[in-house]
Amino acid sequence: MELTREEESALKGEHGETMQMAYRILVATGEATDAEKLIPIEWTHLSGVNYNTIGDAGEEFLSNVSKDARVKVKTTLNPMGFDIDNVSDYDLDENFVSKQLSIKNSYETMGVIPSFSCIPYEIFDIPKNETQVAFAESNAAIHANSYDNLKTNKESAFSALASALTGKSPNSSLRKEDTPNITINMKIKNPNELSYGMLGFFAGKVGNTSVNISGLSNMDNRQQKAMCGGMGTSGTCAKFIFGDGDSDCEKIDFDEKELQNVHDELNTAENGDIITLGSPQLGLEEVTELTQKLKGRSFKKRCMVFTPRTVKVQMQKLGYTNELERAGCEILSDCCTCLTPLINKDNVDVVTTNSIKGAFYLKNSNGVGVNLKSLSQIIKDETK
Amino acid sequence: MNKVLVAGKVSGTVLKSKDSINFLGTVDKKTGIISDKNHDLYDKSLKNSILVFPSGVGSSVGAYTIYSIKSNNVAPIAMVCQKADLTVATGCALANIPLIVISNKEFFSLKDGMKILLDTENSNLILHQ
């Protein structure tokens, strides 16, 4: 990789240890992704916030780094482990709460916007087309590249942090013209968000850095988010290119058999003790629709609804919070189904969800059973 | 094409996985043991191995898992991949775990249990012992 004189001197440690570490990460990342140079970026979105995921090593690392590190560009933040407004309603130990607050404090000290959301593309204004950004959250990177006309690598927690501290990122494949290795033809009739989540999960397994995708009908916001969330969970791929692709590109069908394979991999039980909605978090459009669907109905079991804080504030103003709470929903901001410490296998056996991303992590990290259902099926089966 | 992502020199025993690894969801941070029942390395510890696997997959937060297993002294002493990915590259860069990417042919020639010397200063990168 070609570095400027200033980048070289930072890499040698002449601008302090923090900058040296940041450039070491950028160079390792750039070499891994065939970048020839570093380029300026305008917006960074960081992952590595939930104490459940980064642990003591992450907490200590951030606490040290935040002593002198300050972000150079607009930097937003992924969800953490709980909603400070109602954390006392959940059985979280004091150590978790204090470590999580330390992580929150470290990011705020570095100058990060405390958005605690995995859907930055829905709650912040999207910059002009082709703007270079650095998004670590996998569903957000895929969404940015596929739907928002932005350009990002699928960053890691560290490369995104290094980009926030330097304002630079490697000029890797997804920032340039990328050639997908495969074209997926969507063959499922009348797909819902669950089918699109499974399509994304399948795409992540067969795609390298990007995939062509054909046979899609008009998709709503929920379905687009589900597809991005699914792909981010299973692979390294970070862009959907809509169309048939070149004629010599390998073709593969996503049909009922492939759908069943993904279903069988992630659906491990038939009946949930609780329901979770939101992974990725629900945006305002989705909570509006949920409020309408739940008019005159209420859940027969607990239903956790995950949404960004900015959306929660809007929901309160619009009266949705009262409506959803009446219907038995627990509304949580700042956190998400994915890797939540609020669901524990000691008191929950099976979770019902419409999220493929949520299902993967609930099964593998929380160790609970998962029952997959679309939102309309959940409302049909689980409310009265 | 062979590539050096994080430099270093170690000798040890190959632990080979035919499956990719999602460090966030499937590797226990305290023990370095793979917890996914469907995984090729289910119930095996990564500790002190030269971990040979196709690539990392899944959430980017997995880089912190690599940093954690290193801090907990249960990390591999080196990693060898068929394909580079950002999660593993940055995790290894921060944890200072040597990481190389090798050709398909060399990847398939590495077998579980082999004793090898990995040296990023040597043009052969991998020497069989």
Residue B95 pLDDT > 90, yes or no? no
CA gap A291, A284 in Å, rounded: 10
SS3 (DSSP) at A32:
helix
Under DSSP, the state recorded for A23 is: H
Shortest Cα distance, chain A CAs vs residue B29, angstroms: 8
Instruction: Note whether A53 contacts B: Cβ–Cβ < 8 A.
Output: yes
Give percent above pLDDT 70 in chain B: 98
Residue A383, phi then psi, degrees to nearest 5: -120, 165
Average pLDDT, chain A: 95
Mean pLDDT, range A262-270, rounded to an integer: 96
- Residues of B annotated as part of the active site: 59
Residue B60 pLDDT > 80, yes or no? no
Residue B97 pLDDT > 80, yes or no? yes
If one compares A215 and A17, the residue with the highest pLDDT of the two is: A215
Phi-psi region of A58 (alpha: psi -120 to 50; beta: other; left: phi over 0): alpha
List CB contacts of B100: < 8 A, sequence separation 6 or more: B2, B3, B4, B5, B78, B79, B80, B81, B118, B120, B125, B126
**Interface contact flag, B56 A236, Cβ < 8 Å:** yes
Measure Cα distances from A204 to A5, A110, A194, A351 in Å. Answer: 38, 33, 15, 24
Shortest Cα distance, chain A CAs vs residue B85, angstroms: 7
Give percent above pLDDT 90 in chain A: 87
Tokens linked to A356: 């493929």
Residue A304 pairs in a beta bridge with A276, A330
Residue B15 pLDDT > 90, yes or no? yes
CA gap A50, A262 in Å, rounded: 27
Q: Nearest chain A residue to B72 by CA: give it.
A: A57
Per residue, the 3-state secondary structure of chain B, as one string, reads CCEEEECCEEEEEEEECCCCECHHHHECCCCCEECCCCCCCCCCECCCCEEEECCECCCCCHHHHHHHHHHCCCCCCEEEECCCCHHHHHHHHHHCCCEEECCHHHHHHCCCCCEEEEECCCCCCEEEC
Instruction: Note whether A354 contacts B: Cβ–Cβ < 8 A.
Output: no
- Return the minimum-mean-pLDDT range out of A21-30, A65-74, A343-352, B55-64: B55-64
SS3 (DSSP) at A357:
helix
What integer pLDDT is reported at residue A272 of this predicted model?
96
Are the CB atoms for A116 and A309 separated by under 8 Å?
A: yes
Mean pLDDT, range A242-261, rounded to an integer: 96
Residue A192 pLDDT > 80, yes or no? yes
∠ CA A41-A43-A47 to the nearest 5 degrees?
A: 115
Instruction: Note whether B83 contacts A: Cβ–Cβ < 8 A.
Output: yes
Q: Domain residue spans in chain B?
A: 3-128
Mean pLDDT, range B71-78, rounded to an integer: 95
CATH class of B3-128: alpha beta
| pLDDT digit string, tens, across residues A287-342 | 999 999 999 999 999 999 999 999 999 999 999 999 999 999 999 999 999 889 99
Residue B2 pLDDT > 90, yes or no? no
List CB contacts of A337: < 8 A, sequence separation 6 or more: A276, A277, A278, A279, A304, A306, A343, A353, A355, A357, A358, A361, A362
Instruction: Note whether B26 contacts A: Cβ–Cβ < 8 A.
Output: yes
Are the CB atoms for A299 and A275 separated by under 8 Å?
A: yes
Residue A99 pLDDT > 90, yes or no? yes
CA gap B104, A344 in Å, rounded: 41
What's the pLDDT band for B8 if we cut at 50, 70, 90?
confident
What's the pLDDT band for A54 if we cut at 50, 70, 90?
confident
Chain B residues with beta carbon closer than 8 angstroms to that of A25: 90, 93-94
Cis bond leading into A280, ω under 30°?
yes
Among candidates B35, B57, B68 on the partner chain, residue whose Cβ is nearest the Cβ of A236: B57
CATH class of A267-382: alpha beta
Among candidates B25, B64, B72 on the partner chain, residue whose Cβ is nearest the Cβ of A361: B25
Are the CB atoms for B77 and B119 separated by under 8 Å?
A: no
What integer pLDDT is reported at residue A173 of this predicted model?
79
Residue B59 pLDDT > 80, yes or no? no
- Return the minimum-mean-pLDDT range out of A208-217, A266-275, A342-351, B83-92: B83-92
| pLDDT digit string, tens, across residues A354-364 | 999 999 999 98
Written as one string, the DSSP assignment of A295-326 is: TT--BSS-EEEE--HHHHHHHHHHTHHHHHHH
Q: How far apart are the first and last CA of chain B?
A: 23
Residue B51 pairs in a beta bridge with B15, B79
Instruction: Note whether A229 contacts B: Cβ–Cβ < 8 A.
Output: no
- Residue A175's nearest CA partner among A213, A207, A220, A145 is A145
| pLDDT digit string, tens, across residues A125-168 | 999 999 999 999 999 999 999 999 999 998 888 899 999 999 99
Chain B residues with beta carbon closer than 8 angstroms to that of A159: 60, 86, 90
What integer pLDDT is reported at residue A221 of this predicted model?
94
What's the pLDDT band for A55 if we cut at 50, 70, 90?
confident
**Complex prediction ipTM:** 0.73
Q: Domain residue spans in chain A?
A: 5-175, 182-264, 267-382
Give the global pTM: 0.86
Fold annotation for A5-175: Aconitase; domain 3 (3.30.499)
